[in-house]
Amino acid sequence: MKLDATDLRYITADEFRVLTAVEIGSKNHEVVPTPLIAQISGLRSGGVNKLIGSLAKRNLIAKVQNSKYDGYRLTYGGYDYLAMRALSKRDSMHSVGNQIGVGKEADVYVVADVEGNEMVLKLHRLGRISFRAIKEKRDYLGKRKSASWMYMSRLAAEKEWAFMKILYEHDFPVPKPIDHARHCLLMEAIDAYPLRQVSDIPSPGKLYSTLMDIIVRFASAGLIHGDYNEFNILIKRDSGDPVVIDFPQMVSTSHANAEWYFNRDVECIRTFFRRRFKYESSLYPRFRNASSEGDGENFQLDVVVSASGWSKKEQKVLEEYMDAVKEDEPQGTLDDSDTDEEEEEESEPEEEEVEDAIDGNNDEHKVDSEGRAEAADEETVTTQITVALSQLVGEDDGFTEP
């Protein structure tokens, strides 16, 4: 879905409280019961129903038809608003501009701070295009049969933030990360254009060598980009230097398939230069050499990132998701010309998620195999949540693993 920030300034504090209650309830319910929303929000029942109606009209939450009980689910629009409010409360972002990019699983917008300095806001939307491809391959999601796309999107944003922050601190050619919240990532705006838009350059050999050197430098620091192609490389207008973007699929050189990912990155660049610039070189890096040599770096950034809070468990969940998607999705990012087709497919995942909810994977009065009470302990849980809700509203922790 497209981001529409028009109503963001008109959402009241109570409406955000109800929206946050739906988000909290989504951790254990695919469809959050209306009484539970009222209980978590701590507002009067009659008032909550009015607020729910207002949020539903703005498509920030959606009522699930034919459900076994009256309830709502959080939409990506509502998740967008929660994330942007968190960024706004931290004075990281003040206004939202035009959309400047669309990918398979992310939207990119121009935004600005209070002083009018332009930045880039990236909103991860995993499951939008790949939903049908991965629908039958969701074993790694365990009991989360709805595929919890917002949780996966938050994981992708957290991973990209962790890697981009570490890479920028070690002078790699990446955008400067500014802030992140839930599934959103805020970074500096760079005056550049994608490599795929370049039709001719005076010295393709020089750029080819620079891009290969970046691959080697990544590997010497213990990392492999995993999706290193013309869609994820920007060329600065003033200097012509490359800038690398898009890091949710980045893996460590100790990964079981590290050599395959490395060789794929190298081959993507070789293929692009051969087709676009009719340039082909017999010189290209090999994984064994690249992972053992470097520019003198005596650190392993994959270890540094793990120490920063990005856990192996989260890494495994996201990698398994990416692997399942890659089996059925073409390499690279969608062209701008694919935007219309992408928007048509966007609504389908939501419809299929609703069908899963109707199947009763998370019935209101059942206890799952992990011992999670959904009815008996609900009152105790929601009482604790209500106490902490005032602290949670507007914060950026978002979905945690159900």
Task: Cite the active site residues.
Answer: 227
Contact 60, 75 (CB under 8 A): yes
* Alpha-helix residue ranges (DSSP H) falling in 170-278: 204-220, 258-276
For 77-87, give one letter per residue: b (16+ CB within 10 A) or e. bbbbbbbbbbb
Contact 111, 92 (CB under 8 A): no
State which amino acid sits at residue 181. A
CA–CA distance, 29 with 363 (Å, rounded to integer): 8
**Among 163, 176, 183, 230, residue whose Cα is nearest residue 399:** 183
Taking the mean position of all CA atoms in its chain, how far away is CA 340? 21
CA–CA distance, 25 with 382 (Å, rounded to integer): 9
Long-range contacts from 62-68, C-beta under 8 angstroms, 24+ separation: 62/350, 64/31, 64/354, 64/357, 64/358, 65/354, 66/358, 67/31, 67/357, 67/358, 68/358, 68/360, 68/363, 68/364
Show Cβ contacts of residue 58 under 8 Å, excluding neighbours closer than 6 positions: 7, 11, 77
CA–CA distance, 252 with 265 (Å, rounded to integer): 14
Contact 301, 171 (CB under 8 A): no
